[in-house]
């Protein structure tokens, strides 16, 4: 067990080190706009600087599913099983239950429209057998497309220090989605996904904020900042744009609108222009932690007495983030009940993210020993319940609680 948890702690430690480095200078956004047809570069800044993709990762997951559909390895009406691992993913998610089945069509639409992490893992397992094998295949395919600075470690974009990309590579992916799967590309413009007795709206605000917008995918973590891979068409001309590391969702979209307007206003003739294939960057360099300068700080919510000094004790279990303190408290109680035969120690804690426009509340159980935390998480995960074991130093860091 020591080796397994040691690897997890090491990966987490890499994330912990990033915010400290980022406090010295807030990184500028990385962006790139290209003509979709020619690949001519119309605007760029830091386009080959490695960044964390966050949920923009799901555009590559969709590419892999499209590829499997084209090869006949999947069918849209095929029912695929939802594993406990898939169902146990943190929000944003569709709310799939372990042991049930869902069609590839539903999972694909949920992946794109709702950025559903449970759908991403279910699709990864359907294509490759496991998410780890799927991530390896994603990286291999990305490299084949020319995305030379990209490495994928999961299908959803959840934080992983190994999962990096660049604005250049994501623009290449955008062009590949259009060129290789023109019959599927309209999915990125879909505004709702039907689920259960109703429908759920898209999380991609870009679609409604720019004339001619066609998607593609947004993403956010504290480490990545606000990301967007976008496409737009005007007068028969299509542009692909990427913004990575926006300070807010609004700032990201404003920058993208400005870049797109400038691109459409410029000449459509690509002669003499630098092509995206000419952009080069170092394959390995430090990835900036974009919002590590207090923007993703956590604060105690009212009634959380153990946070008097602003520090959470011991190892902790993160059960996810919720829209209300009541929901977070209820999840803690449910999980404590499920753990009554495994571990009885621990203190409940509900932590509010007060610096983000939409308040979220993380549900935690803290004050545990390392062995107890590991045993408890494995028990919950086997039941299809999301759980993340976090060591003491990381327990009080923003990126550990962002979920």
Report the largest interatomic distance among the alpha carbons of the chain, rounded to a whole angstrom: 70
From residue 93, give the alpha-carbon distance in Å to each of 11, 174, 323.
24, 24, 14
Q: Which of 115, 128, 301, 329 is catalytic?
A: 115
Collapsing DSSP states into helix, strand and coil, what is residue 129? coil
Crossing angle, helix 370-382 and helix 325-338, to 10 degrees?
A: 90
393 Cα distance to chain centroid? 23
245: left (phi over 0), alpha (psi -120 to 50) or beta: left
Q: Which of 55, 83, 156, 329 is catalytic?
A: 55
Q: Which of 58, 93, 141, 217 is catalytic?
A: 58
Query: Which two tokens mark 331?
Result: 């999840």
Alpha helices in 80-166 (DSSP H): 84-87, 104-113, 117-128, 131-145
189 is catalytic: no
Residue 74's closest CA among 129, 149, 16, 126?
Answer: 126
141 is catalytic: no
What are the φ and ψ backbone dihedral angles of 322, each rounded to 5 degrees?
-140, 165
190 is catalytic: no
Distance between CA 122 and CA 139 in Å, rounded? 18
Sheet containing strand 237-246, strands side by side = 41-45, 30-35, 237-246, 225-234, 213-221
Distance between CA 343 and CA 273 in Å, rounded? 63
10 Å Cβ neighbour count for 375?
17
Collapsing DSSP states into helix, strand and coil, what is residue 402? coil
Catalytic site residues? Answer: 55, 58, 115
């Amino acid at each position: 067990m020591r080796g397994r948890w040691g690897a997890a702690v090491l990966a987490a430690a890499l994330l912990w080190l990033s915010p400290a480095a980022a406090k010295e200078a807030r990184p500028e956004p990385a962006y790139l706009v290209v003509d979709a047809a020619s690949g001519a570069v119309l605007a760029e800044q830091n386009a080959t600087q490695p960044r964390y993709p966050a949920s923009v990762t799901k555009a590559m997951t969709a590419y892999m599913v499209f590829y499997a559909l084209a090869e006949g390895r999947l069918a849209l009406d095929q029912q695929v099983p939802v594993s406990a691992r898939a169902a146990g993913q943190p929000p944003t998610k569709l709310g799939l239950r372990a042991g049930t089945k869902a069609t590839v069509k539903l999972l694909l639409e949920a992946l794109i429209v709702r950025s559903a992490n449970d759908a991403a893992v279910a699709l990864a397992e359907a294509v490759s057998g496991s998410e780890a094998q799927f991530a390896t295949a994603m990286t291999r395919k990305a490299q084949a497309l020319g995305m030379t600075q990209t490495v994928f470690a999961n299908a959803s974009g959840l934080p992983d220090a190994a999962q990096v990309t660049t604005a250049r590579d994501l623009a290449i992916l955008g062009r590949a989605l259009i060129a290789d799967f023109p019959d599927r590309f309209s999915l990125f413009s879909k505004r709702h996904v039907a689920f259960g007795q109703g429908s759920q709206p898209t999380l991609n605000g870009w679609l409604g904020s720019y004339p001619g917008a066609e998607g593609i995918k947004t993403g956010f973590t504290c480490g990545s900042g606000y990301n967007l891979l976008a496409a737009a068409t005007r007068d028969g001309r299509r542009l692909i744009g990427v913004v990575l590391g926006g300070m807010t969702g609004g700032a990201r979209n404003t920058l993208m609108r400005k870049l797109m307007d400038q691109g459409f206003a410029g000449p459509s003739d690509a002669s003499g222009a630098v092509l995206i294939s000419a952009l080069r960057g170092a394959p390995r360099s430090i990835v900036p932690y974009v919002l590590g300068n207090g923007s993703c700080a956590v604060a105690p919510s009212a009634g959380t007495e153990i946070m008097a000094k602003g520090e959470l004790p011991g190892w902790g279990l993160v059960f996810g983030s919720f829209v209300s303190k009541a929901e977070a408290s209820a999840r803690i109680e449910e999980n404590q009940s499920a753990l009554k035969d495994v571990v009885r120690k621990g203190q409940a804690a509900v932590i509010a993210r007060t610096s983000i426009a939409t308040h979220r509340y993380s549900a935690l159980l803290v004050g545990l020993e390392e062995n107890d935390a590991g045993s408890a998480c494995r028990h919950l995960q086997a039941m299809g319940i999301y759980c993340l074991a976090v060591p003491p130093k990381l327990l009080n860091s923003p990126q550990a609680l962002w979920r």
